[in-house]
Amino acid sequence: MYDVNLIRKDFPVLEKVIYLDNGATTQTPKPAVDAMLDFYYNYTANYGRGAHHLSIAATNAYEDARDSVASFLNAPSEKMILTKNTTDSINMVANGFGFESGDHIITSVVEHHSNIVPWLRQKEKGVSVSVVDIDSEGMIDPKNIEAEITEQTKLVAVSHISNVFGSVQDIKTIIQIAHKSNVPVLIDGAQSAGHTPVDLKELDCDYFAAAGHKGLLGPQGTGVLYLKNPETIKPTSLGGGTTSDADRTCFVTKEPPESFEAGTPNLPGVIGLGASVEYLKKIGVANVEKHEVALAKEAAKRLSEIDGVSIYGPKERAGLVAFNVKDLEPHTVAMRLDKYDNICVRSGFHCAMPSQKFLGIKGSSRASFALYNTPDEVDALIEGVKRIAKES
């Protein structure tokens, strides 16, 4: 394991607040911020747009970051597209796949809006969408996916870890089932990349989308999209950086990944992401997972023991727990924790309305943990919720 008190020094804001909203965005460590500052102070230039030494340095740093992320997820660099966030990555697949009338997509009710709304929009083209149910703990039964597969099914899209339940789906089995029918699979890894070991070669999914600013500890405005077979997706944006030849009548696009990254990229953000991934590598994701899961399990157990508190999700959960306190609005709970306990938690639907409507609730509060959170912070959360429950 690692010394949590030592690494907390790399996240200065933790001296001022108890931050338990890591499912939305994590804090970025000093080494990543330093890497971005180094870009701004010493070699700001555009990517691949010049022969001068600053441009070369910027381009090399950008590609080094791509290599770091690809290595971290065990994937070839040329198949790792750098995007804005998970939502951007999923939409690139949704809009570049070329769905046609009569095609069929399978997803689930536990998904974040980013992994259900882009598929529902395909219905405008005459595509049918099956949204499979979950159990009361937020788990997808792979057999329910299998039952929905038809000859018209073109894609299965499911999340690795639910941002509401903390449920870890059996994505290996889902992928195997889909591949038996030659159906590709997209995995929404927004809550898994950086929180649990992800080996894309072993997983064998066709598309994997993740954010840089969550478990990977990178800056906001960064994300990744893995394409096992890049030729299955057409670039959704064209222009600067994507074209190898053009005249007034036609153009030729470059090879992936450049063909998918039109315009000036978020160079400082990607460089920061590369540095944050290297930071994670030194700590070890397996160590991070063990730490976060232990905190969430303890928090869930103790929250469930408070009179009037309801929690959601399985006993064996990832590093988050959603809960409600009596009949209080989730935002009220979050605001009281913030005002009186200096604790930041998420509140509302968490961009996952279908799953919470499935539970019959109008949102929830959510504590989500990262590698830098501590047992003392769990204690503070429990005491804060106890006080709110007692006063209500």
Q: Which of the listed residues 260, 282, 304 is the one where a domain comes to its end?
A: 282
Instruction: Kindly state the tokens that stand for 62.
Output: 């950008």
Sequence-separated (6 or more) residues with CB below 8 Å from residue 222? 82, 83, 84, 85, 211, 212, 213, 266, 269, 270, 272, 273
CA 151, CA 176: separation in Å to the nearest integer? 17
Is residue 235 in a domain?
Answer: yes
Is residue 11 in a domain?
Answer: no
- CA 232 to the chain's CA centroid: 22
Task: Please tell me whether residues 289 and 215 are part of one structural domain.
Answer: no
Task: Please tell me whether residues 248 and 293 are part of one structural domain.
Answer: no
Helix, strand, coil percentages (3-state) for the chain, rounded to 5, are 45, 20, 40
Task: Please tell me whether residues 227 and 350 are part of one structural domain.
Answer: no
Task: Please tell me whether residues 188 and 250 are part of one structural domain.
Answer: yes
Task: Please tell me whether residues 151 and 210 are part of one structural domain.
Answer: yes
User: Comparing C-alpha atoms, which of 140, 173, 196 is closest to residue 320?
Assistant: 196
Quick one: pLDDT at residue 382?
Answer: 98
Is residue 372 in a domain?
Answer: yes
Task: Please tell me whether residues 217 and 295 are part of one structural domain.
Answer: no
- In single-letter form, the type of residue at position 272 comes to G
Is residue 162 in a domain?
Answer: yes
Task: Please tell me whether residues 38 and 83 are part of one structural domain.
Answer: yes
Which residues constitute the domain of residue 314?
Answer: 284-391
Q: Tell which phi-psi region holds residue 98, choosing left (phi > 0), alpha (psi between -120 and 50) or beta.
A: left
In 3-state terms, what secondary structure has residue 327? Answer: coil
Task: Please tell me whether residues 234 and 269 are part of one structural domain.
Answer: yes
Task: Please tell me whether residues 289 and 272 are part of one structural domain.
Answer: no
Q: Where are the alpha helices (DSSP H) in the chain?
A: 4-7, 30-42, 53-72, 86-96, 117-121, 142-148, 171-180, 200-203, 267-283, 285-304, 330-341, 353-359, 375-391
Task: Please tell me whether residues 62 and 116 are part of one structural domain.
Answer: yes
Is residue 73 in a domain?
Answer: yes
Kindly name the residue from 205, 250, 344, 351 that is annotated as catalytic: 351
For residue 80, the cross-strand partners are 226
Quick one: pLDDT at residue 350?
Answer: 95
Instruction: Give the pLDDT of the chain (392 residues) as one tens digit per residue.
Output: 899 999 999 999 999 999 999 999 999 999 999 999 999 999 999 998 778 999 999 999 999 999 999 999 999 999 999 999 999 999 999 999 999 999 999 999 999 999 999 999 999 999 999 999 999 999 999 999 999 999 999 999 999 999 999 999 999 999 999 999 999 999 999 999 999 999 999 999 999 999 999 999 999 999 999 999 999 999 998 888 887 777 778 787 888 898 999 899 999 999 999 999 999 999 999 999 999 999 999 999 999 999 999 999 999 999 999 999 999 999 999 999 999 999 999 999 999 999 989 889 989 999 999 999 999 999 999 999 999 999 98
Q: Which of the listed residues 232, 255, 282 is the one where a domain comes to its end?
A: 282
- In single-letter form, the type of residue at position 92 comes to M
Q: Does the annotation count 250 as an active-site position? A: no
Which CATH number fits the domain that encloses residue 331?
A: 3.90.1150.10
Quick one: pLDDT at residue 245?
Answer: 78
Which CATH number fits the domain that encloses residue 259?
A: 3.40.640.10
Tell me how long the chain is: 392
Q: Which of the listed residues 282, 304, 329 is the one where a domain comes to its end?
A: 282
Task: Please tell me whether residues 300 and 371 are part of one structural domain.
Answer: yes
Task: Please tell me whether residues 178 and 110 are part of one structural domain.
Answer: yes
Quick one: pLDDT at residue 251?
Answer: 81
Return the sign of the alpha-carbon dihedral for residues 168, 113, 299, 17.
Answer: positive
Is residue 6 in a domain?
Answer: no
Q: What is the pTM of this model?
A: 0.97
Is residue 14 in a domain?
Answer: no
Is residue 15 in a domain?
Answer: no
**Total structural domains within the chain:** 2
